[in-house]
Structure 1
C-alpha cells in the first residue's frame, strides 16, 4: 500500500504541472507575459515559454518518479517563489502553493517508491542523479 500511495501522490502532484506546462506552451503564455515584463525581464515571451517547459518537464519527472527527489525540491521551491510573487495578494492561492510545496518536499524526503521509473533505484549513469 505504501508504494501505491506514493504513486497516487506523484500523480496528484505531477499531472497539474504537466497540464499547466502544456497550456503555457500552447498559447497560454500570453497571460504570463505582462507579469514577466513588469519584472523587467528582457524577453518575457521567451521566459514564459521556458516556464511552461520547466513545468511540463518537472511534472513528467514527478509522475515517472525519476528523479523524484531533485524534481520535488525544485518544484517545491518553484511553488514557494511563484506563490509569493504571483499570489501574495490572494491568501487562498498563496496557501495552495504552500500546500503543494509541502507535498513536493515530502515526496523529496521519502522518495518515489518502487512503482516508479527504474523501480526507485536507477543504475549506471542515472544513479548519479539524486
Structure 2
C-alpha cells in the first residue's frame, strides 16, 4: 500500500511541479491577464505567487510532507480554479474536480510509509488536517 500511495502522490504532485515551473519560466505572463480580470491587485505578483504555490505544493505532495496540509490546500485550489477559470469548459472543469477528489482522498488516508517524516508536519502545521 505504501508504494501505491507514493504512485498516487506522483500522479497528483508532478503536474503541479511542471505547471509551477512553467509559470516561473515565463508562463506567468499568460495567467496575469486572467488574474487581472478577477480584479486582484498586482496581477503579475499574484501570477508569481500562483507559480510558487503550485511548485511548492507539488513538491510537498511528492515528498509526502506536510502531506495533509498541502493536499487540503491543493484540493481547494483545484475547486477554486475549476470554478473561476474552467466552468465554461466541462472537460477542464471536471479535470479539476477529479484532481480535488484525489487530493481530498490523500487528506483522509495520509501519505503512507514512503512519505517524508511519515507525512505529518511538526509544530503549527501539525494542527492542520
The structural deviation recorded for 1:127 is: 8.0
In structure 1, distance between residues paired with 2:119 and 2:37: 42
- Aligned pair count reads 128
The answer to whether structure 1 residue 29 and structure 2 residue 28 are counterparts is yes
- Structure 1 residues 129, 25: closer, same or farther in 2, change over 3 A? farther
Tell me which residue corresponds to 2:46. 47
Aligned CA-pair RMSD: 1.6
Moved more, 34-43 or 113-122: 113-122
In structure 2, distance between residues paired with 1:126 and 1:117: 17
Q: TM-score, normalised by structure 1?
A: 0.92
Q: TM-score, normalised by structure 2?
A: 0.93
Unaligned runs of 5+ in 2: none
In structure 2, distance between residues paired with 1:12 and 1:94: 18
Tell me which residue corresponds to 2:111. 112
Helix, strand or coil: the match of 1:50? helix
Find runs of 4+ consecutive structure 1 residues off by over 4 angstroms.
124-127
